[in-house]
Chain A
Amino acid sequence: MSDDDLERQLRVALKPAHPGADFAPRVLARLAAEERVPRVRLPRSQAVAGWLTFGLAASVLVAVLLAHQWQVRRTEQGIEARRELLEALRVTDQKLDLAYRVVNAPPHAAAPQHSGA
């Protein structure tokens, strides 16, 4: 095919053509018909499921965070309780030691009295 043939064919093909008098009414009728067809949407159950999944994930995250916080707090309380326990035993021991020391001191310095009970 020569270039002239191609050009001629293109001219024929691209020749302006009148759409006809009823073109505009046909387009409007078509648009009106399409509007009546409902748009494609996600089913309601799928939307609910999506929200449920999100809610569940958020709940699990919150629960994990709360559990972690509780664990951290519990550990802090435990360490504090252990410190207090050792401190209490230290004070108790110190006072028993004081009693022993006074009892074992020379007689003129200490006056131990026993209830005899």
Chain B
Amino acid sequence: MTALAELTSACLARLKGSQVITEPAELRTYECDGLSSYRSTPGLVVLADSTDDVGYVVAQCAALNVPFVARGSGTGLSGGALPRTDGVLIVTSRLNRIVRLEPDDERAVVEPGVINANLTAAAAPHGFYYAPDPSSQQVCSIGGNVAENSGGAHCLKYGFTAHHVTGLEVVLPDGSTERFGGTAPDPVGYDVVGALVGSEGTLGVVTEATVRLLRTPQAVQTVLAAFRTIEAAGDAVSAIISAGVLPAAIELMDALAIEAAEAAVHPGYPAGAGAVLIVELDGPRCEVEAQLADVERLCGEAGAFEQRIAADAAERGLIWKGRKSAFAAVGRISPDYIVQDGVIPRTALADVLQAIDEVAGEAGLRVANVFHAGDGNLHPLVLFDEAKGQTERAEEVSNRIIELCLDHGGSITGEHGVGHDKVVHMGKMFSAVDLDVMQLVRCAFDPQGISNPGKIFPTPRLCGERPGKRSGVHPLQQAGIAEVF
């Protein structure tokens, strides 16, 4: 019997039949996450109903040396939850209880399958919300957000998932369950919670998270400013930041992204715009009103030909709808597209946009630009037609964009994660030694290398080896390497 077959019978012996999926047709429905260009049918799928279920399956995996991959809602865009044919996919979406809502403590305790937006909905009557707001927040799970350190439009002011998680319950790769942190701040010891958030499922499976709830701000104002050119919109972003204003969000869409959004959800953005900027301010009313005046003035000075201020939540919702649906909307104007996620220093925006334009032009493809302009997080959408054999060229353009980000001192991913998709780029951003040292953390958690193997790191390290190479011994003073007192 293969290890996977042994694991399957162990799961069937312990769990309910409805929790264990072995039918090939059913298994295939889990073959990819939100990045459907990579597919791999899992050897087995288990739908966990409790931490104990997760602990049991992982312990069996450890005993049988079978790899496991955790999956929440499956909306990830880097193939982080891409299954293994030789392993089990542990689905946490049925662990969807909000365990406790503690407004007095400004915390919520949630199971990993809780949908991001549902937490804010539950906290809202108490005057609170959960800040990280990835565009997929209506469907993505908090467990997945924790794995990917998800951001969203509002992380410019409020930070990412890592800033909002204060405690975790984790099933470690040996099957044991451990808790780190809690509701109080500054837990004693290494910041293991900080290391776990964003580790993309490679250090274990999160089975419960304690997260911060923020007070709903007294006032929110959303401005939609339309510009003739994307350069003018970029200038407005720089002017706003230089003025010392820290908006909750600054989002930019170019003409192609606007066209797509209009085709899909009709947000009614100003006609003739080469770019629109969405600026959202929140905080105490007096502060927001003063900043709103600044933002309007600065956008006007940068050349905005029309500015609209959302009069109410409905208008705000419509402005945001165009932005948040932009990825999917691109499907209306192109048969296929690649969503890219790169980061540049904000000041390099104009240079990089021009370079993207050139790269796309050379390849004869179109690129729609949607991005979190305030923090330099680009989401270029490379449009192509597979039927016309453009796939390879599109991938080249997409890769070239990542290299542009690195050339300008940026990052290969701002919020979608490395997952499977960007493993090839890690060696361009980090040295082999950097990656080896990061994997010391992996070795502390998962010496067997069974927790979502093949993600993040291009080369797994054999735990026990020391990173780097040792050079010969040189007496300190002789080499003159340090002043000796």
| Chain A bound to chain B | no
Chain A residues close to B by CB (< 8 Å): none
